[in-house]
Structure formats: structure tokens, C-alpha cells
Chain A
Amino acid sequence: MIGSNAQLLQLAIVIPLGAALVIALGLPKRFGTKLAGAAFTLPALIALWLWAQYPAEGGTGYHYLSSVDLGLGSFGINLKLGLNGIALPMFLLAAIVGLAAGLFALRSQAERLKTYLLLLLIMHGGLLGVFASVDIFFFYFFHELALIPTFIMVGIWGGRDRNYAAMKMTIYLTVGAMLSLIGLIAIYVKSGANSFDLIELKRAIAAQGLGAATQNNIFGVLMFGFGILVSLWPLHTWAPLGYGAAPSSTAMLHAGVLKKFGLYGLIQIALPLLPEGAAHWAWKLALLAAFGNVLVIGFVTMAQRDLKQMLGYSSVMHMGYCFLGIAALSTLGTGGVVLLMVAHGLSVALLFMLATSIHHRTHTFDLSEMGGLAQKTPVLAAFFVAATMASIGLPGFANFWGELTVFVALWNVSPWITAVAVAGVVVSAIYGLRAAARVFFGQPTEALQRVTAAHPPADLDWVERLPALILLAALLFFGFYPKALSQPVDQALTPASTLFRSINHHR
């Protein structure tokens, strides 16, 4: 049974990539869209199955392990796949958001739809691969595989400023990726394990240990490398611009899932392998995240007039909470970050999707030119308000549990920083609710009335409702039953608790 589940995990990654290949080889359009639909759906079913099959006493190790040598075995690089308690929720997130983004893209009126779906499938395959990789080389490799289509999709199908946005994203994210790669190579070389396999690396480093100076250097490189990818202030400027220009499905997958790569790398690789380095940098990271990401970007978000830019900034701000949870250096904080990553991924994907639905009806992203849309499209309004509530972190949605655990963990480190972080929630409530109010309530502006007179806005049809429902259902499910996520995470983090205790003892 275990063996076949391991093959299912491999299959989940191969299906989107294989479908992309078949489409690239010149499948006719009507088969292409059907195949793409299947290739978005099957990994989600597999992910759900693997999640259901995941043992309740999963422990710390990996499940569904498989290893394939692709010719670099002599360098210690094997395609080793598997899921542990931290990877499982992220894998599930990637599959769900991928399904929603794919369904939304299938019905979009994108020009050259086949190429668009092809790139989206490559991105989806890469995302699933990132979280299923045990080998840190492939962890990086799959990330890049998902990243390249992002640039292309922004450049070709993007909105305003797409050329500039694509270029800026490419350069920023390449710098970040390169720094992370150097950090990963450094771990590989310094550990002496002669392997990129994370399990081997952990064993080798536990046996001989890395010096404090080495750990500090490598963690610094990884923190800034991953930090750029996650939009750590002040290296975040690519994010709002890129998301503002990106087509909706791309923004959903990138902001929802791909961006979490850096945080996931910090939790899964940097914290367990470089604990002293983490302790060295934790305060600096906390200050940057609290005052930069949460406070400064929080106020910047309030000042946005463009709906999509506002969502881009708000996602930068929420990444601040994730960094804070990591900087707390505790099992509680780290576990909270995993919950928050899943919750934020679902809610931000939903918001980006709905923003595009709004744009279809108002023909603008400018908040000051909208208003009163709720009378014409009540279902859309309900979804948007719910997504906003989730994003703010209201109880009942998954985000609440993530933010709560992060704040509790943070209190042990510094009540002052916790106060800043909690103040951020108020800020995000202000801009979130104000945006919802501007779009859906009040009187429609003259400009909007002209548009709606020419094209009377229809409410969400089933094509748009289905992906929205999937995302919202997941948010509510994890909101009311967070144990589904927290149990595997908690078990995976058990050995880390002694690690964190020893670090905090030294501080």
C-alpha cells in the first residue's frame, strides 16, 4: 500500500508536466482544454487521498518515499520524493489552489489559450514538486520550473505595465533564487554529506555539526535569498507590481503558493540544519518583518487605489506575520506559520480571482471608480466579503488559527513586537473592509454607471463559482477543524522542540 502511494505522489507531479508536454506537441485545442482540466483535477484528488491516508501517528519522518537517479547520483542528486508533516499541508495547498486556478483559467477568454494552459500546467507541476521534494536540489529545481512560466505569463498575458513588471520580477526573483542556491550549495558542501538529500544532510550535520560562524553566514544568505522570494521588506517592490500586472490564474498560483517556497525552505531546511544561525538572525528578521512588512507596508496598503495592487501589498504585509512566526524560534511559532501559509494561500488566491471577476464587470481596478456592485451581483459580493474576512483573520476561517498561534508564540519573545503585529491586524481590517465597501456598497459612480449601462453586470456564473467555492470551503473547513492541519505539523515538529529549547537557552 505504501509503495503504491509513493507512486501516486510521483504521478501527481508527472501528470501536469506530461499534459503540458502533450499539449506542446500540438494537441488540438478542444482536446487540449479537456486534458488540461483533467491534469488540474487529478493531482488535487491524489493530494486529498494522500492526506486522508497520512497516518494519524505520522511522526517526524517522511512518508510515501521514492527515489530515482537521473544521472547525477554521483553528485548526490537524486529525485527523492516524499511528504512529512510540514510538507503535507503545503502539498495539499498547492493542489487545491492549482485546481482552482486551472478551472478559472480554462474558462478565461485568454488569447492563445493553449499556450497559457501549457505554462500554467508547468507551473502547477513545479509547485507540486517543490513541496514533495526531499532532495533540496530538486526542491530548488522545481521552484525554478514554476517560476519561469510566471515571468512569461506576466509578460504576454499581463495587464498594465506588463513588460516592466515582468522584467522587474525576473531580475528580483533571479537574484533571490541565486542567493538561495548558493546557500543550498553551501549546506551541501559544508555538511560533508556529499548528498542533497535532506534526510542525509540532517544526519550528517547532527553527527558532526557546523560551526557557529558557518551557520551564521549560510543562514544570512538563505534568509535574504528566500526573503527576496517571499518579499521581505525592503526587497518586496517586485510583488505588488508583479501581481498588479499578472493574469489572474498566475497571480493566484504565485501569491497563493509559489511565494511560500521561501518560508517553507526556512522552516524545512534552514531552521533544523542551522539553528544557531537562526538564533543569530532572529531578532533582525523580526524587526524587519514587524516594522517593515507589517507596519510600513500596512500603511502603504491603506493608501492604494488599485484593487489588485492593494491585494499585492496586503500579501506582502501578511508575509510579515509568517516571518515573525519563524523568528519566534519555537514549535508553536513555526507550526503557526505553516497554518498561516495554507490559510493565506487559499484566501489570497480567492481574492485575486474575485478581483478579476470584478474587473470583468466594472472594467476597472480603480477603487474610487466603483461602488454599489452588491445590488447587481450579490453572490460575488458575498464571496468577496467572506474572503476579506478570512484575510483579516476572523474566527471561523483558517487564517485566524495561524495568526493566533503566531501571536502567542511571539509574546514569549517580545510583547512589544506582538503589539505591533496585532496593530497590523487592525490596519488590515481597515483596508480590507474599506475595499469591500468601496466596490460593493454605496452609490455607483458615474463612470461605473456608464460601463454597467453598456454591459449589464451578471452575477457569478457556475464557472466562476466552482473554483471560488473550492477555495472558500477549504478556508472554512480548516477554520472549524484546524486539527486536520495542525496534527501532522505538530508531530513533524516534535524533535524541533528540544532544538529550539537549546537555542533559546543560549540566548
Chain B
Amino acid sequence: MSTELLKLVAGSNQWWALTPEITVACAALALLVLEIFLPKEQHRFIPHFAVVTLVMVLGSVAVTFEHAWLGEQLFGGLIKLSQLGQIARVFFLLSSLLVCFLATICLPRTRMPRVEFYHIVLVVTAALMLLAQSNHFVMFFVALETVTIGFYILVSYFRDNALTLEAGLKYLVLGALSSAIMLFGIVLIYGAVGRVEIDGVVHTGFEYGVVADFLRHNPHNFLATAGALLVLCGVAFKIGAFPFQIWIPDVYQGAPTPVTAFLAVSSKAAGFAVLLTLVLNVFAPLSAVLVPVLSVLAAATIIAGNLAALSQRNAKRLMGLSGVSHAGYLLMGVIAALSVPAAANAVWFYLFTYLLASMAVFGVMAHLAGADDTHQELDHYEKIARERPLLGAVLAVGLGSLAGIPPLAGFMGKLLIFVAAFQAHLYGLLAVAIGGVVLSIYYYFGWIKAAWFETWSLNPAGSEVSVRPVTVPSWIGRTVLTALALATVLLGFYQEPLTSWLMK
């Protein structure tokens, strides 16, 4: 290697560009250090440290949102700074912040150690941000595995509960399987592309740009196509697309509520961030194969998710399965993005509305969860609207937004995706999606009904069973929940704040 080349490589190692990720990771380590050095009675401040760090990093990313180095590749092509990467950073930081908020409600009910939880959340957050900006299959895989391993621990965090342990095991086995499939796909692509020398620099089939170039010239290469499909299978596991949605209900039910929210929002969004990059930038030349495969996948996902959710009475399973159908609508947006560029923005808009609405619903669920976190039935929501009107209202707004009822933000997300799908001529898929939305009204509305409409039961004795202690929201809880609900309503009327920022 010549000296000049070494200089070039060293020059691209711009550590400063990864300040948000590094700060979050260091904060994660600092939490552990704090636990050792702080006296025991002050341990309750440690979660606050995590929250403050996240808020500060979020603020700094927002301030430096449009820096001058967008589009540059760092670390010899491992990372690519981009507009989408910045959006993803904001998304994951916001989501983790809300997960920490949920954890402050749920964790004190158990006797589990608390600091580790926040530690892992922060590590996963850093990895998620890297994942969304990766430009290289090695970086991609390492970041993805860091996320996944973090989730293995988080899912079975309440290890005194049998269902939680079962969920952890299921997630571990199926997650490992999907990682193996994805790795196999990456290897196939690597094998097909091989090593190429451009301007005296050797590039391998791990780099996105090289793979995209190769596919552009060999769109019919069987090995590379097979590899691409296998990689997408791995991503489909993350977003819970059919037929990889099998793990979702059990894992969502077993996982602690904050982790369920983390899985539902961040893990799913990470899958879509990766999917958008891969499908639009890397695998786009394979669209002749990708569009039919992804279309069938999207249709099956919408149908499977909605049908399975129809008969659910457990709140967490319902959130999981309805989340599957949301993955289907989002997949539709990804397919549309192949021919209509605006659809990528629509997908992110949808993800943000989904973040707000889901976190609002999970926030209410966290307050209602009793001692057994896995046992959250819709029947427990009876009388909520009367006894805790705030929780009832936030729940109704969140569920309404998820169902896509105007004038809430979720409707705008669905509308933008549907318009994009129409412009991309995905009529069949659109018909399936409309059917799915109508089905989803049934179960979301059933949940609202359980909370708001009074039902009289024949046996008054039955009402004793449903009396469960509801955690009274603290002022922070009230503020956060109100903010989430208000944001959901306002974004339905006035989208300027989000669109001006997403569509620069």
C-alpha cells in the first residue's frame, strides 16, 4: 500500500462525525461506572443521567441537522453521512428517550436491577444510529448484531416470569436463524461481486456502491439475486413481515412493556431505514425481481397481521400483530419508492406518526400493567375513561392515529403512502391495504370501546376481578403523555413542522 493511499484512508477516519454515537456509548459505560462509585441511596439518579444524555445528544443533532458533510463517506466507506441518516438519528434518540420514560414507570414495580437496563438501551441506541448510516455490509452486520444481542437481554429482562423467559428464548433462536440467513446472503453477494480495483484501490463486494455498480451491469446474476433476497429475508424478520412475523405475538407479550415498545418502534424503524437504503441504493437494479416479491410480501403481511389481530384480547399481542400490518403498509411505501421518490419521505413521515401514536399507547399500557407485566387484557381497560380520563383520552388518540382515522397524524401518514402507491400503479396492493385498514378499525375501535363505552355485566361479582391497581401518572408522565397526544392531533392538522424538515 502506498503512503498516499494510507493518508487517504486515514483522512476519512473522521471520528468527530460520529460524536452522537460515541457520546451515547460512553454514557452507557458511564452508567456502570456511576453505579460502582455512587453511594447506594443515590442510585435512583442514574436513570436520570441516561435521560439527560439522550436529551442533550438529541438537541445537538437537531441543531447540527444540516451540516456541510452530508453525502460524505467515512472510514474508508464504512459509514455514509446522509440526510436520511440524520433523520434516523433523531428518530432513534427520540424513541429511546420515550423507552427510558416507560422504563421509569415499569421497572420500579419489579425487583430487577435498573442500571443495566438503561445501559443496554443506550448501547442499542448507538448501534441503531450506526446501522442506519452504514454503507458497508460488514458495518451493517456488526451494528445489526449489536442491536440484536442487546434485545436478547432486554426481552428476557424480567427473568422471574416464565412467559418472559419463553419470549427471550424464542427471540434468541429465531433471531439467530435470521442473522444466519442474512449472513449467508451477504456472503453470496460478496462471492458474486468479488474484489475489484478502482483507481488503484481495492474494493470488495461488501461495499454498497460496489454492489450497486455490479448489479447495474449484471442484473440477471443468479448468485447476487439470491443473496439480495436472503438479505431482505433477514430484514423482513426485523420488521416482522410475513412469513417472518411468527415470533411477534409471543415475544411482544413476554417482553417487558418498555422493551415491547422499543421492539415495536425502534427495531421496526431500523428495519425500514435499512430496507430503504438497500432497496433504493443497492438492490434497485433488481427491481424486476424485487417488486413482485416485496408486493406479495406486503400483501401477505397486511392480511396476516390484521386477521391475526382481530381476535386478540391481550393488549400486547394486539399491538404486536397490528404492528405487523403497519409493516405491510410501510412495505408498500418502500415498493412505491422504487418508482416515486417522494414515497421514501412518506415512509419516514409514517414512521414518525407511528412512533408518537405507539408510544402514547404503550405509555398508557405501562400505567395499567399490574404486577404481572405479561397479563394485560383489554378487559382491564374497562372504567379507565371514567377513573383516569387523561389516560383514556391519550389511549383513544393513540389508537385512533394507529387506525388511521382523520384528523390524526396516522391518517396523514397512511394518505401519503396510499397516494404514492397509487402513483406507482400498485392498485392490487392498495385494495388489500384498504381492506386491511377497515379490518384494523374493528380491533382498534374495540379497544377504545373497552375503555370508553360502558358495558354492564350480568354478574356484578365479575366486576371485582377486573379491579386492578392503576399507576397514577406522575407530573412527568402526564406531561409526556399529553405531549404525545397533542403532537398526534396537531400533526393531523398542521404537518409543516415535520414535512418541512423531512423533505428538504
Contact = CB atoms under 8 A, between A and B. Distances in A.
Contacts of B441: 170-171, 174
Interface stretch (B88-96, B240-248, B417-425): B417-425
Nearest to B492: A141
A148 B405 contact: yes
Interface string A180-201: 0110011011000000000000
B89 to A, nearest CB: 22
Contacts of B500: 71
B430 interface: yes
B473 to A, nearest CB: 16
B407 A145 contact: yes
Contacts of A155: 449, 452-453
Interface in B427-444: 430, 434, 437-438, 441-442
Contact of B493 (A70, A152, A181, A186): A70
B499 A163 contact: no
Given A171-B441, A171-B442, A186-B422, A70 B434 contact: no
B503 A74 contact: yes
A170 B412 CA distance: 19
B494 interface: yes
Interface string A117-160: 00000000000000000000000110011001001100110000
Contact of A148 (B400, B419, B437, B493): B400
Interface string B384-415: 00000000000000001000011100011001
B445 A70 contact: no
Contacts of A75: 416, 419
Nearest to A154: B453
Contacts of A148: 400, 405-406
B496 A174 contact: no
Nearest to B423: A189
A10 to B, nearest CB: 14
B110 interface: no
Contact of B445 (A71, A72, A162, A170): A170
B419 A182 contact: no
A374 to B, nearest CB: 37
Contacts of A170: 441, 445
Interface string A444-467: 000000000000000000000000
A156 B416 contact: no
A161 to B, nearest CB: 12
Contact of B430 (A140, A152, A163, A182): A182
A394 interface: no
Interface in B452-504: 452-455, 493-500, 503
Contacts, number: 76
Contacts of B405: 144, 148
A484 interface: no
Identify whether the interface residues of B are mostly helix, strand, loop, or mixed: helix
A75 B453 CA distance: 38
A182 B434 contact: yes
Contacts of A74: 499, 503
Nearest to A68: B494
A175 B441 CA distance: 10
B302 to A, nearest CB: 14
A167 interface: yes
A178 interface: yes
A167 B445 contact: yes
Nearest to B405: A148
A166 B453 contact: yes
Interface in B130-158: none
A271 to B, nearest CB: 22
B406 A145 contact: yes
Contact of A175 (B438, B495, B499): B438
Nearest to A172: B438
Contacts of B499: 71-72, 74
Nearest to A143: B406
Contact of A144 (B407, B423, B437, B442): B407
A72 B406 contact: no
A42 to B, nearest CB: 21
Contact of A167 (B411, B438, B449, B497): B449
Contacts of B437: 174, 178
Most chain A beta-carbon neighbours within 10 Å: one of B419, B422, B497: B419
Contacts of A156: 452-454
A486 to B, nearest CB: 34
Given A75-B419, A144-B407, A174-B441, A70 B495 contact: yes
B495 A141 contact: no
Contacts of B496: 69-71
B396 to A, nearest CB: 8
Given A71-B495, A71-B500, A178-B434, A144 B411 contact: yes
A189 B453 contact: no
Contacts of A182: 418, 422, 430, 434
Nearest to A158: B453
Of B400, B416, B449, the most chain A CB neighbours within 10 A belong to B449
Interface of B: 400, 405-407, 411-412, 415-416, 418-419, 422-423, 430, 434, 437-438, 441-442, 445-446, 449, 452-455, 493-500, 503
* Nearest 5 pairs of A and B residues by beta carbon: A71-B496, A144-B406, A71-B495, A155-B453, A71-B499
28 contacts: A70-B495, A71-B495, A71-B497, A71-B498, A71-B499, A72-B495, A72-B499, A75-B419, A140-B406, A141-B406, A141-B407, A144-B406, A148-B405, A155-B452, A156-B453, A162-B453, A163-B449, A166-B449, A167-B445, A167-B449, A171-B441, A174-B437, A174-B438, A175-B438, A178-B434, A181-B418, A182-B434, A189-B419
Given A174-B437, A174-B438, 9 more contacts: A69-B496, A70-B495, A70-B496, A71-B498, A75-B416, A140-B406, A144-B406, A162-B453, A163-B449
